[in-house]
Each structure stands twice: as C-alpha cells, then as structure tokens.
Structure 1
C-alpha cells in the first residue's frame, strides 16, 4: 500500500486510495499485470492473494520504476492474449492519450471471467504535465469499459466533497512555501498542523454531509465476459 505520512499535505488521498484498493483485493488471483506500475506500492498486497505479479510501465515515467516489462500503454502490448487473470491500473488512465486502446488491450489479455481494477482521479489538479490528458466522470468510465468489452462494471467514489475540497486547498497552500530556507521551514511549520486537522476532520464531515457527485476520484471494476477457468 501507499505509505502514509501524517505530516504531509495529501496523506488523506493516499489513505483513500489504499482503502479503495483494499476493498477489491479479494478479486485478484492468478497472474496479475499492473499497468503503469511505477514504484509498485501494491505489489506485496496483491501477492498475498495472487500467484504472480508483473509490473508494466513506460520509459518516460516520472516516478521511477522497477517493472518487468517496458511498454507504451497507448499501443499494442507484447503480452499474449488470455494470459492474465487480473489487470490493475492505479492513477494511470488520465495519463494515456489513447485510453480506449489500453482498455481494449486489457480485455484481450485477460482470460474469460478476468477482472480489471482501476483507480482514476476526477476533481484533481493537472499533474505530470504534459502527460495529463483527461478527467473522467462515473458515466464516462462506465461507457469506456463497456465499449472496450467489459461487463458488470462498477464505479465507486474514492472520497466525498469535503476530502476533495481539503486536498485541493492543501495542494494550493503548498505554493506558500517559498523564499529563504528559514522562511520556508517556518511556513511549513505553520501549515503542517492545519493540514493534519483539515484532513483528519474532512472524512468525518463527509460521512455526515454526503455529496455523491463530488469526489477526488473513482475506483472501477469490470469483468471480461465468459467463465473463469
């Protein structure tokens, strides 16, 4: 899972992603491909349930990688058809200029009955530019997965409004940390308690004041038609 640093401005997002992935780990088995694996934060968790984990990423990743397969997810992949039991892709789809190509390749690579598990941002800042192309609504995600050949598509929010709003505010406040080193340390010392309080209380408020169409992102599950062997 993603490591959580309670002094950071965005630990709430990492906790939300960890929770979203953990809820669906029971679906993963056999051989699992991680599309856009980066530093593979979920490898150990997946291998508690699956037999094999294969990381796939491209050479331009900004996060560093130790993947087994280097490939462009926008293009046909050098992976045999019906060779995977599950495919995961965490916070990657927005960085693909041809997302439908990746989803269709995932469907080809999965065995019948195989599962795809995706997380993707919705109301989130532009990041890893210039490779940040899209934001998806729940309806767009459902459409794309079904168009790629998946069924039983389920889309869930990863946060509520208040978590999303606090995270956006905290990212904006990072811009205040500038100037000489001593001043930067002072500003950070002031912001860290505010970050901690805001992120700690946001989930509590959201649980009592729901806004289902306001979220930082989504977690999506789809299944390839057919019977798993």
Structure 2
C-alpha cells in the first residue's frame, strides 16, 4: 500500500544532491512547505514538487496555478479493451512477475519500501503491489495524481543513497530522455541486495505522442540493466500481440479514427492469444515488450565486458 509520509520523510533529498536533506512541513491536506538548505520547492495540491528545474527536462513554466498538467494524455481504455487486456498472456506474465518481486522484497527486508518510478498511472498487473499491506509503496511522476507520494523527475530521484528495497519502472523508460541515467539513479537508491523490476516496449508503434523516444530488444534491455544480477527476463507478448498492435495501427491510420480503427481491428484480437502456443525463443525476437527482474549485487559487479552478446541473447537466431 502507499506509504505514509512518516515512512519516507527521512529519506527525502534534494534532487541531484543526495547529501542535502529535504524537510517537508505537513498539513491537514498534505505538505504545505518543502525545502532543503539549497532551495525551496513548490507544493501542488499537497504534493511537494521535488524537481530541480534548472537541470530537468520538466520546465518550471509547466507548473501553473493548478499544478503540473499531465505531459501525456492517457486516454482510458474501453470496457472491452480492459477485459481483453486482463486476459492477455502478457498481462498474466506481468502479474506473475509482480508476485515474484513482492516475494523477493519481503524475503530481503522487513516492511520493505518499494519505489514506483512513473507511478501516476498504475501499470498492468501491479494491483497486488499496491494492495499488499506488508509493503510501503512510494510512487512519483512528473504530474499530480492521487496515487503519488510526491512529484519528481526520475533523472534525479529525490531519495537518499541505498535507502529503498525495490524499484519498479513499468512502461516508463521509453518516455524519458536518458534511460541509462534513470537506471543509474535506480541503482543508487537501492540497497545492496535490493530488487528492480522493469517493463519496456519493443515492437510497439509510437504512443503518447511527442513523449515516446526509445525501444529495446530483450538483449538491449538486459544491457541497460547490466549492473544488476538477473533473476528473470524475457518477452511480454510475442509475435501474436505485436501483429495485433500493427493491424490496429494500420486500421487507425486508414480510417483516421482511433475509435473506428480500434473497432475494425477487433476481429484480429485473437492473434494476441496465439502467443500461448509459441516458445519463448520465438516470442522474444518479435516481442511486443520485454521485462527484467534483477537484484543489485551486494558488492561492486564484475566488468560488464563479461556480458557477451551470444551469452545474453535468448532468441532463436543463433
């Protein structure tokens, strides 16, 4: 469940300056003041905005009287789409991965603290993470949301070094300017032996408009998390789901209508369920998305030169 202010107040730091503490003055409806020795921070609807605007891609101009407007317009899915997504093999895999992350976090710490990077919208399969009373979830994003603890930029996570037990970064890395920097920040705030879970798209068309920058093969995703010991990795949706996404995009482009294109592509939705019949080695080369569950080593990891492409590749093109 979402952590209380008391659970994480002592962990807050000036973004980009983990040696400088941030002090929050709480009020009845949330924070009323946030400041470090270096500067004061805005407060929007009771949520402190812990962003160094001089070094962030988020602009101070984006912060109006009503707060930071969502940078991304996330349109709600129809009821039929929500039902279908709940049945997708990829969603079932996400739920299983979250269960594994929760078990690993609980095994490594009492009352583990889990940070969700980009938690303004809860991701697929993450329900158990927020529902578990044995977890303390800290969530942040670059715009206000009722699911957030504070507003922040993942390029400079405003938390102390080695202060949390697990980090989730789900469907986020494609939308950031520097994915490697985000991962480095995740490594910094994790305790030795802490866990990370990431999901990132591969064969998906551009979504969420101008804020969509990156795609990763499964091998590339593994290299991005090269500092972590892998526990589980692979595809989230294979050739079938990728084919459905491509047909849906084609129908939308032909009709110039998101809604009509979605309706015309419904007969092809069963393609997504064919992934049940495909071996992982076939799915991974045509993956709709990829995932990585890993552990931060207790000691400095060995040279990344040991990650030879032939050794980390999971596909069938050997």
- TM-score (norm. length: structure 2): 0.57
| Alignment partner, residue 249 of structure 2 | 171
Query: Separation in 2 of the partners of 1:176 and 1:4?
Result: 21
Query: Separation in 2 of the partners of 1:189 and 1:119?
Result: 24
More strand by share: 2
Structure 1: gaps (5+ residues): none
Matches within 5 A, 1:68-107: 68-74=149-155, 76-107=156-187
Query: Separation in 1 of the partners of 2:250 and 2:146?
Result: 28
Residue 133 of structure 2 corresponds to residue 55 of structure 1: no
Matches within 5 A, 1:124-143: 124-143=204-223
- Residue 51 of structure 1: CA displacement? 1.8
Kept in 1, the 8 Å contact 2:240–2:271? The answer is: no
C-alpha change, 1:10 and 1:140, in structure 2 (3 Å) is farther
Kept in 1, the 8 Å contact 2:242–2:272? The answer is: no
| Alignment partner, residue 190 of structure 2 | 110
Residue 129 of structure 2 corresponds to residue 46 of structure 1: yes
Query: Separation in 2 of the partners of 1:204 and 1:26?
Result: 21
Q: Radius of gyration: which is bigger? A: 2
C-alpha change, 1:152 and 1:49, in structure 2 (3 Å) is farther
Q: For 1:36, which of 118, 131, 142 is the aligned residue?
A: 118
- Residue 94 of structure 1: CA displacement? 0.9
Listed one character per residue, the Cα deviations across residues 65-121 of structure 1 (whole Å, up to 9, x for unaligned) are 6311211112x2111122211100111011111111111111111111110000010
Q: Which of 1 and 2 has higher RCO (CA within 8 Å, sep 6+)?
A: 1
C-alpha change, 1:153 and 1:98, in structure 2 (3 Å) is farther
